[in-house]
Amino acid sequence: MSDAGLAVIGVTACNQKLGLHPFNIVGEKYLLSIADATNAWPLVIPSLGHCPAESILPRLDGILFTGSPSNIEPHHFQGQPSEADTHHDPKRDATTLPLLKAAIDAGVPVLAICRGFQEMNVVYGGTLHQKLHEVGGYIEHREDKTKPVDVQYGISHEVQIEPGGLLHEAWGRSSAEVNSVHTQGVDRLGVGLRPEAFASDGLVEAFSVREAKNFALGVQWHPEWKVLEHPFYTAIFKLFSDACQRHAMNRVR
């Protein structure tokens, strides 16, 4: 493919202190998933605590809202205060929460992964279980951190895919196998979100935005992980890429 045909997809960063200084960082797996599995090139969106969405969105053909080691501060969804050792990223919250809603309202294609999925639920008024494993009634959704990373991100469980949605359009089947490396999960689903997939324990693992002007999908698992080795993950990025390409063509007219 030629560089001239590449769409530009924004990729959200985390604000994290490394040594004495704050850095904006993005996991390479997210950047590679765009470079390798879409007809697009990634452009990092820093989390500086604010974002001029009205200036940025007209220049983007899509946005990938990434996962993160950090959790959304619970005051954003009227949750109880977190335990003292919880990793938060308030500058990311202040950047991505308003940007996500603005992008969807503007018709910019959005794929939200893990933390991004949780951000989407919160933006639409949903709530989160802060420690899913302490709630009861759920299977183990956390990774075993004593294992190698390939094992942590290996296939963990099956999800049931709802008919008629974006995931079913991408995959064409009623189930798929996914990885599972999350501690938090959906408690109350946000207003206007359509469930797209469920784990066997009933946990919502994917949803889309019902009245979105364009592609707007959130998934709790990590389809960016070795995306080209997993046909289901590849199919998700293909659908996202197609939406970004259409938006790019409409944007330059």
Q: What is the pLDDT of residues 112-143, one digit of tens each?
A: 999 999 999 999 999 999 999 999 899 999 99
Report the predicted TM-score, pTM, of the whole model to 2 decimal places.
Answer: 0.96
- Give dist(CA 136, CA 143) in Å, integer: 17
pLDDT value of position 86: 86
Region 13-25: mean pLDDT is: 96
Task: Look at the chain and report how many structural domains it folds into.
Answer: 1
Structural domain span for residue 24: 7-252
Which residues is 64 bridged to in the sheet? 11, 111
Residue 2 is assigned to a structural domain of this protein: no
pLDDT bracket for residue 5 (50, 70, 90): confident
Residue 238 is assigned to a structural domain of this protein: yes
212 DSSP 8-state letter: -
Residue 196 is assigned to a structural domain of this protein: yes
- Give dist(CA 119, CA 94) in Å, integer: 11
Q: Among candidates 54, 44, 59, 71, which has minimal Cα distance to 7?
A: 59
Residue 24 is assigned to a structural domain of this protein: yes
- Give dist(CA 189, CA 179) in Å, integer: 21
Catalytic residues, which ones?
Answer: 114, 222, 224
Residue 76 is assigned to a structural domain of this protein: yes
Residue 32 is assigned to a structural domain of this protein: yes
CATH number of the domain enclosing 183: 3.40.50.880
pLDDT bracket for residue 248 (50, 70, 90): very high
pLDDT value of position 6: 87
